[in-house]
Amino acid sequence: MPNMLDYLTWRGDLPLSCVPWNEVDSLLMAALAYCSFGETAAGAEGVALRSLSARTREDVKDLQFFSRCRDLEGELAQTLRFGGLSVHDAVEVWDPAREMQFAAMTIDLPDGTCFIAYRGTDSTLVGWREDFAMAYDSAVPAQQEALTYLERIALRRPKGIYLGGHSKGGNLAVFAAAHASPEAQQLLQGVYSFDGPGLSKELLETPGYERIHALIRSYIPQSSVVGLLLGYHPEYTVVRAKAISLLQHDPFTWQLDGPRFEEVQQVDASSQLMDETLHEWLESCTPQQREAFVDAVFSILEATGATTLQQIMDEKFRSAAAMVIAGLTLDGETKKMLIRLVAQFIRIGTTNLWERLLQRPLALLNRADDTDE
């Protein structure tokens, strides 16, 4: 089945002046945001994509997804459609003190508009901890940085702005759009979230979100988990993906139907079950409990001395031993809290699964009754 790499073969020789910007183009820019160009594209003056070369990042060099994004940059650069696009204002921030991982770049399009691409989570523990903080913090540092970045680009008054990102990057795009000044919001042409976690219920009810929600284009794979977290945008398109479960989070597995995604009617039953369980669990915990849970989990992970998930996987036996010791040394109240919340999640998930199993025979019975009539 074709994916976005096949799209480059089909459409790479067609300039944007002939075939307008579309959802797959936006996904390609979201994937490009995972590339690092160093100081070459950090300035306000744009550098043609064909003149850039993505650097190898040590923290993710052995992870297939990031390697594919780097290879994708080389293929984009060779096409007529994308090679001449200018990249500028590329920033990368990794700040353990603020528990922030943020990266973004702006790509100028031929018609005077631009696309701001926000990077998703990398392999750093800081980045993952910040993601989990979204469960209890109304605005994590990367979200605030995404808003500041949008406002800075908007001050240059481009003809229009598209925002987008994959995973956490999609969340940053929607957050920034919803919090932007009215002047910046007037420039927005589209906001793309590719399997990005949602936002808090409070934000979904704000005037700022109301003004831009019609511009949001949210896409999730059929077995999505990440894209259904928190107060997700309720109007999303489900995309067929050629992978199993969480592996569908990789957009290279998403299937295309020509210049569009191949759509399916709804997410899989397993995804629906996880969605219900996570939301019920979050509702059953106070923000303080969620924060304490995240602090405890990451204190165990950080006890390994690793700064990235890759390091933990590379040293799996040593890391496992360090995490066990760290877990045993937690104070009594913290251990009780962890056990209680994990047990609560399992209980909710088991109840939801049982209810679905009970509903299935009823659905079959109803179908049989319809046939008899």
**Domains (range + CATH), the chain:** 4-268 (3.40.50), 285-372 (no CATH)
Confidence at residue 364, expressed as pLDDT on a 0 to 100 scale: 44
The answer, yes or no, to whether residue 16 has pLDDT greater than 80, is yes
Confidence at residue 312, expressed as pLDDT on a 0 to 100 scale: 76
Confidence at residue 371, expressed as pLDDT on a 0 to 100 scale: 43
| Residues 42-72: tens digit of each pLDDT | 999 999 999 998 887 766 665 788 889 989 9
Range scoring the smallest mean pLDDT among 163-167, 178-182, 311-315, 340-344: 340-344
Q: Using the 8-state DSSP alphabet, how is residue 55 labeled?
A: P
Sign of the C-alpha dihedral computed for residues 358, 359, 364 and 369 taken in this order: positive
Beta partners for 93?
A: 102
Mean pLDDT of 31-41: 93
The answer, yes or no, to whether residue 8 has pLDDT greater than 60, is yes
Q: DSSP for 113-154, please give it.
A: EEEEEE----SBHHHHHHHHHTTT-SS-HHHHHHHHHHHHHH
pTM score of the predicted model: 0.85
The answer, yes or no, to whether residue 23 has pLDDT greater than 80, is yes
What are the phi and psi torsion angles at 336 (to 5°)?
Answer: -65, -40
Both tokens assigned to 143: 């979200």
Confidence at residue 239, expressed as pLDDT on a 0 to 100 scale: 94
- At position 351, the amino acid (one-letter code) is T
Alpha-carbon span 106 to 102, nearest angstrom: 14
The answer, yes or no, to whether residue 211 has pLDDT greater than 90, is yes
With beta carbons less than 8 A apart as the criterion, state whether 261 and 23 touch: yes
**pLDDT confidence tier of residue 367, bands split at 50, 70 and 90:** very low
**Nearest Cα to Cα of residue 82 among 38, 34, 56, 115:** 115
The answer, yes or no, to whether residue 219 has pLDDT greater than 90, is yes
How far, CA to CA in Å, does 250 sit from each of 56, 79, 194? 19, 23, 10
- At position 299, the amino acid (one-letter code) is S
What are the phi and psi torsion angles at 102 (to 5°)?
Answer: -145, 140
With beta carbons less than 8 A apart as the criterion, state whether 43 and 105 touch: no
**pLDDT confidence tier of residue 24, bands split at 50, 70 and 90:** very high
CB atoms inside a 10 Å sphere around CB 289? 16
Tell me which of 244 and 32 has the higher pLDDT: 32
**pLDDT confidence tier of residue 209, bands split at 50, 70 and 90:** very high
The answer, yes or no, to whether residue 275 has pLDDT greater than 80, is no
Alpha-carbon span 255 to 240, nearest angstrom: 6
Mean pLDDT of 132-152: 90
Confidence at residue 276, expressed as pLDDT on a 0 to 100 scale: 77
Q: Using the 8-state DSSP alphabet, how is residue 43 labeled?
A: S
| Residues 118-130: tens digit of each pLDDT | 999 887 888 878 8
Tell me which of 356 and 168 has the higher pLDDT: 168
Across the chain, mean pLDDT equals: 85
**311-347 b/e (C-beta count within 10 Å ≥ 16 → b):** bbeeeeeebeebbeebbeeeeeebeebbeebeeebee
The answer, yes or no, to whether residue 372 has pLDDT greater than 50, is no
| Share above pLDDT 90 across residues of the chain, in percent, rounded to a whole number | 48
**pLDDT confidence tier of residue 32, bands split at 50, 70 and 90:** very high
Confidence at residue 373, expressed as pLDDT on a 0 to 100 scale: 44
Confidence at residue 38, expressed as pLDDT on a 0 to 100 scale: 87
The answer, yes or no, to whether residue 345 has pLDDT greater than 70, is no
